[in-house]
Structure 1
Amino acid sequence: MEIKICPNNLSKLELKYIHNLLIEAFEQDFSAEDWQHTFGGTRVIGLIENKVVAHAALVPRRIWLDDIAHQVGYLEGVAVLPKFQKQGFGSELLASVSDFASKNYQWSMLSSSEKHFYRKQGWQDFLGQSFVLINDTAIATQTENDGLMCLAMGKHQIPSPMRAVCEPRSGDYW
């Protein structure tokens, strides 16, 4: 599989194809908000015979970690077309995007129920409490805590922040 790191300048046709890939990979459970969350950053795609079979987006988000504002690389839309799953392509794509993230962001984060997959590439469980900032008030998002993970620059295994506060967005905050 060939891996390409793409700035956010793909054609409408390429974006439509990626959107369809995500819908298929997530078995129709990929909302309009989920799609919008993949915009504004860097896309990493996996190609086989010039066909996109895997995708991930690393989007900059302002997140306060232990009360210090960071520009965090937030990982969204990680998926492989079903007929290419269980062949190592997802791991290969994640290795590339994790390497890119650890070189370009002091911290990166994601939310997933598939945590074992991400741990293999150095992602750590977020062990703290999560919040969303609404009207200058940090509101707990406790249901998100278990799915959050983080990656430190250089993939160093350093203590996870104990408090993370994100800005609100449509759909899932995290």
Structure 2
Amino acid sequence: MTEPRLETVATEDLSEHDAHQAEALVRAVFGSEFEPHDWVHALGGTHVLARLDGLVVAHAAAVPRLLVHDGKEIDGRYVEAVAVDSDRRGTGLGRIVLDRLEAVIEDEGALGVLNSLPGAIGFWEGRGWVRWRGLLGVVGNGEDPRPPADGENVMVFRPPSSIDVEGTLCVNNRVGPRW
């Protein structure tokens, strides 16, 4: 396989062409499960693109989100729109894109957060992500935090000792699923 060209780019610097290619890739991978608001969730942060022969064949984004852990605000980066072209799965493209994205999260001193598909939890754990076992909530919506609901497999990246994964984690609200 030809070596992919990796690019790290902020949403505001993402060309319209690259944005369309990345969105089309993610939609092709997730199909009808990928709602219109899901691409919007992937905007406003940092994108890592892997390109082969000019085509975007892998993508992942980390978007700033306010997190509150046990009453204390922390800087979060929510991982969104992770996808590898179906013809290139198993070639290491996902690994190299995520290596770069996780380095960005660490360099920014933020806490990485994502909501894993059930079948991918072991994959993320192998990369240093830890399942959130405590309560989950939304900042300022008036609801009490609760245990994770079905479909909420919230994970955090290499949580520092100051983060208790059995504590309470709240996130700012958004259109669509909160996590």
Give me the TM-score of the superposition, normalised by structure 1. Answer: 0.88
CA contact (8 A) 2:132 2:154 kept: yes
CA contact (8 A) 2:134 2:147 kept: no
Q: Hey, what's the Cα distance between the residues in 2 that align with 1:17 and 1:160?
A: 36
Unaligned runs of 5+ in 2: none
| Within-5 A mapping of 1:5-154 | 5-8=8-11, 9-113=13-117, 114-140=120-146, 142-143=148-149, 147-152=153-158
Amino acid at match of 2:91: Q
Unaligned runs of 5+ in 1: none
Q: Hey, what's the Cα distance between the residues in 1 that align with 2:151 and 2:23?
A: 27
State the Cα distance separating 1:159 from its structure 2 match. Answer: 4.7
Q: Provide runs of 4+ in structure 1 moved above 6 Å.
A: none
SS in 2 for 1:20: helix
SS in 2 for 1:140: coil
Structure 1 residues 11 and 69, CA, compared in 2 at 3 Å: closer, same or farther?
same
Amino acid at match of 2:51: L
State the Cα distance separating 1:140 from its structure 2 match. Answer: 3.0
Stretch of structure 1 that moved more, 139-148 or 102-111: 139-148
SS in 2 for 1:96: helix
Amino acid at match of 1:13: H
Kindly tell me the number of residue pairs found equivalent between the two proteins: 173
Amino acid at match of 2:9: C
CA contact (8 A) 2:21 2:55 kept: no
Amino acid at match of 1:34: D
RMSD between superposed Cα atoms in Å: 2.3
